[in-house]
Structure 1
Amino acid sequence: MSLALEEILCLPGLQDMAVRAGARNLQRRVRWPYVAENEGIAEWVMGGELVFVTGINHPRGEANLLSLVEDGEAVGIAGMVILTGGTFIQGIPPAVIARAEQLGLPLIEQPYALKMVVVTHLIGTALVQMSQVRRSRNDILGQLLTGDYPSLAIARQRAAHLELALDRPRRLVALRLSAVDELFERHGPAHGERLWQSTRQALEDHLHAWCRNRPGAVMAQLPGDLLVLLLAEDGDLRMALAELHRQLLEVAGEMGLFMGLSSLAEDCAHYRQALNQARQALEVAQNLRPATGLCDFSELGVLRLLQGIVDRSLIDDFVGQTLGPLITPGRKNPYSLVHTLDALLKENGNGLKAAQRLGLHRNTINQRMQRIEQLSGQSLDDPLFRMNASVAMLIWRMTETQGKE
């Protein structure tokens, strides 16, 4: 049960609250409001609170406010609200604003004229309502993803009522944290559980924020450790997911994270099949560990066979023997021959089309084709070499940091 700070600030009746620092982190999730009545807050909060500082029960000079900002950021509060303009705190000292901005802690100013009871009531009510809506959304999404619904017509009606636009084409992404066993082995059951729960919560918060900024994106939370995204298909989806994976690795800390991408589901009637595809792709990603963290179901044909090879060095040796001679370290474009081979394979060996794909002159492609055959000792007309090269290219694209032309 949580709301983003930016969602709270948009609640009717709270328009007089103003962000003074930490605006870049307004996507932080607020789990509950907390009114600070003691000198410090470190031992009274657990993380995720929106802390209100009134100055009523304790003097709040600049030194104390700076201490609250430091402690609040250290223990992971969502943000801090300082009431100003009344008898107790006339204004927020510039040094406090500057420090909060430096730390990235959202700092919000609330005028005393805006009654605390009104603010906390609005936030508390919104949190409860959001919890109910999210529970209902997860319920209907869970039914559609597992196929466990009494009536597809009713499921569609419920989705429409909850403002879930599910009758448009979507691709599903299945996400899961990895190396969980190692986390518990390193830290033991108690500390390991705290790390696991906090990381999982941070992961969910980041995904919620990411979905809010991507049109049509929906997140579903199923029982267990699997997270699911429903995404509209567009041209930059793979690039967006690669960037998302990079961001999530920072959140995951000691653990890793992998993703599986389904083929396109035309509407919610096909979600169960799409989730099955995404889970299969996720399993392959966990075994082959691609650099982008993502495996696409459409590429699973050969990869499903390769994941059965226990010794990963056999796969690496195969790629190295097939493509290694074509890579020229130290040159401006060390992967130019590899990219040329990739284009030739995609165009079924047609040099003219490969040249058009790469934006090169046909003579340049001809020279590169000769060079590929010289270095590899293979003929581009040999179907066995082209098959091996296609498989090696598929693995290489997944696991290597590739150069650009």
Structure 2
Amino acid sequence: MSLALDEILRLPGLQDMRVRAGARHLQRRVRWPYVAENEGIAEWVMGGELVFVTGINHPRGENNLLSLVEDGEAVGIAGMVILTGGSFIQHIPPAVIARAEQLGLPLIEQPYALKMVVVTHLIGTALVQMSQERRSRNDILGQLLTGDYPSLAIARQRAAHLQLALDGPRRLVALRLSAVDGLFQRHGLAQGERLWQGTRQALEDLLEAWCRGRPEAVTAHLAGDLFVLLLPDAPDLRSALADLHRQLAALAGEMGLFMGLSSPAEDCARYRQALNEARQALEVAQNLRPATGLCDFSELGVLRLLQGIVDRSLLDDFVTQTLGPLRSTGRKQPNTLLHTLDALLMENGNGFKAGQRLGVHRNTINQRMQRIEQLSGQSLDDPLFRMNAAVAMLIWRMTEAQGKE
């Protein structure tokens, strides 16, 4: 149960609250409000709180406020609100604002005229309403994703009532953390559980913030360890998901994270099938460990066979033997011939169309084709070489080497 800081600041009645620092981090999620009564807060918060500082029960000079900002950021509070204008804290010292901005901690100023009881009531009510709405959204999405609904017509009506954008084609993404067992082995059950739950919450917050920035994107929370995204199909989807994976992987830390992408589902009646596809793609991604962290169900035909190969070195050797001679390691663009071969395979060996795909002149393509055949010792007209090259290219696109280009 949480609200983003920017959602709280938009609540009717809170328009007098001003953001003084950390405006770039207003997507942080607030679990509950907490009024700081003691000199410090490190012992009294667990992370995710919106901490209110009044100065009523303890003097709040510049040094104390700086200490609160440092401690708050260290323990992971969502933000800090300082009440000003009364007889306790006249203003927020510039040094406190500067330090909060430097740390990226959202710092909000609240006038004493805006009563605390009003603010906490508005936030508490919004958190309860949000929790109820989220429960309903997860319920209907869970029914559609599992196919366990009494009536598809009612399910669609409920989705429309909850303003869930489910019309039109959607692609499903299944996400899961990996190497979780190693986390508990290294840190023990108690610390491992804290790290596991903290990481899951951080991933959930990032996914929700990411979806808010993409029109019609929806995140679903199912029972278990699976995260699910429902996304409109778009030309930039693969690159957007690769960027999302980089952000998620940074949060996952010592655990890995992989994603499986379904083929397009024309409407919500196909969500169950799409989720099965995304799960299958996720399983392949976990086994083959692509650099982008993502596997597309549309590529599973060959990849499902490849994941059955236990010894990964066999795949690496196959790629090296097939494509290795085409790499020019001493050049600024060592993979030019590989990209050319990829374009030729996609265009069924048509040099003219491959040139258009790459944006290069036909003569350049012809020269590269000759170079590919010379270095590989194979003919581009040989169907066996083209089959081997297509499989090798598929593996290569998922390797760490490409991810570092």
* Alpha-carbon offset, residue 361 of structure 1: 1.7
Matched, 1:198 2:235: no
Specify the alignment match of 1:286 in structure 2.
286
User: For the residues of structure 2 that align with 1:404 and 1:220, how far apart are their CA atoms?
Assistant: 31
User: For the residues of structure 2 that align with 1:226 and 1:120, how far apart are their CA atoms?
Assistant: 33
Specify the alignment match of 1:74 in structure 2.
74
Specify the alignment match of 1:94 in structure 2.
94
User: For the residues of structure 2 that align with 1:161 and 1:178, how far apart are their CA atoms?
Assistant: 36
Deviates more, 1:359-368 or 1:66-75: 359-368
3-state SS of the aligned residue for 1:402?
A: helix
User: For the residues of structure 2 that align with 1:385 and 1:287, how far apart are their CA atoms?
Assistant: 26
User: For the residues of structure 1 that align with 2:401 and 2:372, how far apart are their CA atoms?
Assistant: 21
3-state SS of the aligned residue for 2:290?
A: coil
Specify the alignment match of 1:58 in structure 2.
58
Specify the alignment match of 2:366 in structure 1.
366
Amino acid corresponding to residue 146 of structure 2 in structure 1: T
User: For the residues of structure 1 that align with 2:365 and 2:265, how far apart are their CA atoms?
Assistant: 38
* Alpha-carbon offset, residue 343 of structure 1: 0.9
Structure 1 residues not aligned, in runs of 5+: none
Specify the alignment match of 2:269 in structure 1.
269
Provide Cα deviations, 1:169-194, integer angstroms capped at 9, x if missing partner.
11000000011011111001111011
Specify the alignment match of 1:168 in structure 2.
168
Question: Contact 1:334 / 1:403 at 8 angstroms: preserved in 2?
Answer: no
Specify the alignment match of 1:392 in structure 2.
392
Specify the alignment match of 1:244 in structure 2.
244
Provide Cα deviations, 1:344-390, integer angstroms capped at 9, x if missing partner.
11111111111121122222111111111111111111100000000
User: For the residues of structure 2 that align with 1:391 and 1:64, how far apart are their CA atoms?
Assistant: 63
Matched, 1:324 2:324: yes
Specify the alignment match of 1:114 in structure 2.
114
3-state SS of the aligned residue for 1:257?
A: strand
* Alpha-carbon offset, residue 333 of structure 1: 1.9
User: For the residues of structure 1 that align with 2:133 and 2:83, how far apart are their CA atoms?
Assistant: 31
Question: Contact 1:333 / 1:403 at 8 angstroms: preserved in 2?
Answer: no
Specify the alignment match of 1:225 in structure 2.
225
Matched, 1:7 2:18: no
* Alpha-carbon offset, residue 132 of structure 1: 0.4
3-state SS of the aligned residue for 1:134?
A: helix
3-state SS of the aligned residue for 1:229?
A: strand
Question: Contact 1:335 / 1:402 at 8 angstroms: preserved in 2?
Answer: no
User: For the residues of structure 2 that align with 1:220 and 1:71, how far apart are their CA atoms?
Assistant: 33
User: For the residues of structure 1 that align with 2:118 and 2:85, how far apart are their CA atoms?
Assistant: 17
Specify the alignment match of 1:339 in structure 2.
339
Calculate the TM-score normalised by the size of structure 1: 0.99
Specify the alignment match of 1:187 in structure 2.
187
* Alpha-carbon offset, residue 403 of structure 1: 8.9
Question: Contact 1:261 / 1:295 at 8 angstroms: preserved in 2?
Answer: yes
> CA-atom RMSD, angstroms?
1.1
User: For the residues of structure 1 that align with 2:324 and 2:307, how far apart are their CA atoms?
Assistant: 22
User: For the residues of structure 1 that align with 2:401 and 2:112, how far apart are their CA atoms?
Assistant: 55
User: For the residues of structure 1 that align with 2:359 and 2:214, how far apart are their CA atoms?
Assistant: 32
Question: Contact 2:291 / 2:403 at 8 angstroms: preserved in 1?
Answer: no
User: For the residues of structure 2 that align with 1:99 and 1:332, how far apart are their CA atoms?
Assistant: 43
3-state SS of the aligned residue for 1:148?
A: coil
Specify the alignment match of 1:147 in structure 2.
147
Matched, 1:383 2:383: yes
User: For the residues of structure 2 that align with 1:361 and 1:160, how far apart are their CA atoms?
Assistant: 51
User: For the residues of structure 1 that align with 2:310 and 2:229, how far apart are their CA atoms?
Assistant: 30
Percent of residue pairs identical: 88
Specify the alignment match of 2:296 in structure 1.
296
User: For the residues of structure 1 that align with 2:404 and 2:285, how far apart are their CA atoms?
Assistant: 24
Q: 1:254 to 1:400 in 2, by over 3 A?
A: closer
Q: 1:347 to 1:404 in 2, by over 3 A?
A: farther
Number of equivalences: 405
Calculate the TM-score normalised by the size of structure 2: 0.99
Specify the alignment match of 2:42 in structure 1.
42
Question: Contact 2:144 / 2:155 at 8 angstroms: preserved in 1?
Answer: yes
Deviates more, 1:357-366 or 1:317-326: 357-366
Question: Contact 2:319 / 2:395 at 8 angstroms: preserved in 1?
Answer: yes
* Alpha-carbon offset, residue 401 of structure 1: 3.9
Amino acid corresponding to residue 156 of structure 1 in structure 2: R
Question: Contact 2:83 / 2:109 at 8 angstroms: preserved in 1?
Answer: yes
3-state SS of the aligned residue for 1:33?
A: strand
Matched, 1:352 2:349: no
Provide Cα deviations, 1:20-46, integer angstroms capped at 9, x if missing partner.
001111111000000011111111111
3-state SS of the aligned residue for 1:181?
A: helix
Question: Contact 1:166 / 1:267 at 8 angstroms: preserved in 2?
Answer: yes
Question: Contact 2:322 / 2:389 at 8 angstroms: preserved in 1?
Answer: yes
3-state SS of the aligned residue for 2:402?
A: coil
User: For the residues of structure 2 that align with 1:102 and 1:130, how far apart are their CA atoms?
Assistant: 31
* Alpha-carbon offset, residue 400 of structure 1: 3.9
3-state SS of the aligned residue for 2:398?
A: helix
User: For the residues of structure 2 that align with 1:148 and 1:358, how far apart are their CA atoms?
Assistant: 47
User: For the residues of structure 2 that align with 1:383 and 1:137, how far apart are their CA atoms?
Assistant: 51
* Alpha-carbon offset, residue 253 of structure 1: 1.1
Question: Contact 1:32 / 1:49 at 8 angstroms: preserved in 2?
Answer: yes
3-state SS of the aligned residue for 1:82?
A: strand
Matched, 1:258 2:247: no
